[in-house]
Structure 1
Amino acid sequence: MSASLSSARSRAALRVSARISVELLLVLVMTAVVLWLLGQMWSVVWPLVLGLLLTTLTWPPTRFLLRRGWRPAPAASLVTVLFLVVAAAVVALIAVPVASQSGDLSDGVVAGLHKVRDWAAGPPLNVGEDQISSALDNAVERIQKSAGSITTTVVTGVNTVVNGLVTAVLALFLMFFFLKDGPRFLPWLTRQLPGRLAVHVPAVASRSWDTLGSFVRSQAAVGLLDAVFIGIGLWIVDVPLVLPLAVLTFVSAFVPIVGALFAGFVAVLIALVSNGLTDALIVLAIIVAVQQLEGNVFQPIIQSRGLGLHAAVILLAVTLGGNLAGVVGSLLAVPVAAVFAVFWNYLREQLAEPPGEPGGGEPQADAAVPS
């Protein structure tokens, strides 16, 4: 005999479901509003983000000078000048040649896709033309629109903004001030916030900064090693467009998983079109070997700690970022997801029950705050 449903419990369950639904709806609305505001202020947000990313790269030498007794202003000035010199050298030696060859790179990828389509239509696969034409045509269209800009967007750093020069200057000035006044920011922020916010916000900001800096510096080092080794392999096989492909490999390293697959796919297509199937297979073997070397040797040595993100989360974040903001969104997706993970982990620490007190009492607000 089956038991009848309790009307009281059913109403209580519906009330709880309704309350949770309303709360989730409010969270989604607030998220949409924040994203809309960021979009409206993007001309200011983008230089700020770019300045923060540059600061993560230039902070180690600045910290070295500060520990040697330098004052903050001279140390930040010297590092900023050295950064400008290095950036000018990169633009003169790498960015300009890469930009001049980006069109050839795009044309080579398109030709490679057509060659793959012709090969798939013949034996032994005999794939019908209508089965692959639509997907390949969409891929060709996307590559023709964006493949050339994938390298130049990040090499110049400002192509997504109408006035790129102003963005670059703002980012450099912000980098200088972050380097000079960065150590004083958290104490200042602590004094400005009331109550528990004075503890929690600086703690989350400090953890987010450590995570962001670790990600940017480690990905830059790993990407540089990948670009050098793969570039040498492409040069030995005599594949054209070695410099743009090496730069593409370096830039793609900042988009974990997806970036490596994309850069390797482009290199194999270029080798297939220019050198034939044998050299394309050799290039594929080189890329697989370098990726294995990176995953088993480079990253464990360079990365002291991971981002704490599952591969599926990274893939979803990159996909969402690319849909929302194109190439820039793909590049920023993983750092943003890592910062959200830091916030979520800190929130879980604050809401966790104190040891030895299962289910009892309110969590202590300062229990997990680092000293």
Structure 2
Amino acid sequence: MGGGEQHEERSTVVRLGRRAWALLGIVGVLVIAWLVVSQLAVVVVPVLLALFVAAALAPLVNLLGRLHVPRPLAALIAVVLGLAVIAAAVWLVVPAFVAQLPQLSSALGQATEQLDRVLSRTPFFGPGVNVRAIVGSLTTQFFGGGSIPAALGTVATVLSSVVLLLVVVLFYLAEGRWLAAALVGWLPAARQDEVWRVLARLWQVVGRYFRALLVVALFDAVFIGAGLALLGVPLALPLAVLVYLGAFLPYLGAVLSGMLAVLVAAAERGLLTAVLVLVVVLVVQQIEGNVIQPVVMGKIVRVPAFVVLVAIAIGSALLGVLGAFLAVPVAACVEHIMRHLSGRTAEN
């Protein structure tokens, strides 16, 4: 009896040791990836972002392939269609958004002044509080201080990065399987099938996450923007655009864009309208979180909110806005890898 218990304890220790080594290995890979991205941001950033775009367009390419369209041509058609959708959205939204930016800036300035007066009466903040300065400092810390925003600061660099991104997207879609096979081919033959299955799963995670993000962002922007318009809040279009962009940063982006809408409503239409805008934002967010996200993401991308917030904090600390954007899919991929390793360890 004692020998069996000792054997069981040793097996438990061995399993824990394997999981610990697996976790350390993943952390080591992430640290190396961070160092590479920091030093080669101009090249690595488009390559990473192209992975999301390619994963989102992959179903269309696969559909065209089933219709006997050659894969390189299918990849080109998918990219052209994607660019056409982006161009149509820019043509419809951007001119009106830019035209209303000065008015939006003025409204936010009035709102922050009112918020300063309210917060100055509270014991927590006291007199002299300056919300605009606090937000400016946080924005500078979030977008600045890293090599990535600085590296993409010039127009020439941005244009070259966009061109590189499009080329890499085409390569991923047309020859991605060849690239994956070449990388997996370096592994021991006994592990290649297992790695293939894991890579296929991770590819599904990335693709479904990015496609779902586009749908969720559009849902939030359309319905919150419609609510603002129905309530007579000015600047509904630029606020809806900010809501759309904020949705790409889970939880935090929705909170910040919703706060901006409430502040503008308070400054332009008074407290009652601001409360109604807050209700609209909360209702839309609840529908999005409890109905839309489970439908479009499914169970393949299911990371707890606490893990998401921690991952975003770590990603933004390491890589700024890019790290915050990549935090959730990276966390989802790590979760799938850990689950796979845990299942394999249990089988052994």
The CA RMSD measured in Å over matched residues stands at 3.4
Alpha-carbon spacing, 1:256–1:144, altered in 2? closer, same or farther (3 Å) = closer
CA distance in 1, matches of 2:136, 2:119: 19
State whether residues 189 and 202 of structure 1, in contact with CA within 8 Å, keep that contact through their aligned partners in structure 2: no
CA distance in 2, matches of 1:26, 1:82: 40
Structure 1 or 2: larger helix share? 2
- Higher relative contact order (CA closer than 8 Å, sequence separation 6+): 2
Cα offset for 1:321? 1.8
* TM-superposition CA deviations, 1:154-213 (whole Å, max 9, x none): 9xxx66987100111111111111111234444443334334452443333222111111
| Greater Rg over alpha carbons, structure | 1
Q: Does 1:111 align with 2:110?
A: yes
Identity of aligned residues (%): 32
CA distance in 1, matches of 2:206, 2:312: 16
SS at match of 2:185: helix
Cα offset for 1:48? 0.6
State whether residues 111 and 266 of structure 2, in contact with CA within 8 Å, keep that contact through their aligned partners in structure 1: yes
CA distance in 2, matches of 1:243, 1:181: 40
1:158-307 residue pairs with structure 2 within 5 A?
A: 163-307=157-301
Moved more, 178-187 or 219-228: 178-187
CA distance in 2, matches of 1:86, 1:297: 26
Cα offset for 1:69? 1.5
Match of 1:8 in 2: none
Which 5+ residue runs of structure 1 have no aligned equivalent? 1-20, 355-362, 364-371
CA distance in 1, matches of 2:343, 2:21: 25
TM-score by length of 2: 0.81
* TM-superposition CA deviations, 1:256-308 (whole Å, max 9, x none): 22221111111111111121111111111111121122233322322222523
CA distance in 2, matches of 1:42, 1:101: 33
Match of 2:330 in 1: 336
Alpha-carbon spacing, 1:24–1:68, altered in 2? closer, same or farther (3 Å) = closer
State whether residues 215 and 335 of structure 1, in contact with CA within 8 Å, keep that contact through their aligned partners in structure 2: yes
SS at match of 1:70: coil
SS at match of 1:238: coil
Which 5+ residue runs of structure 2 have no aligned equivalent? 1-19
TM-score by length of 1: 0.76
Alpha-carbon spacing, 1:228–1:28, altered in 2? closer, same or farther (3 Å) = closer
Q: Does 1:136 align with 2:131?
A: yes
SS at match of 2:122: coil
SS at match of 1:131: coil
Q: Report the number of matched residues.
A: 325
* TM-superposition CA deviations, 1:7-48 (whole Å, max 9, x none): xxxxxxxxxxxxxx9999998777544422221121111011
Match of 1:77 in 2: 76
CA distance in 2, matches of 1:142, 1:104: 22
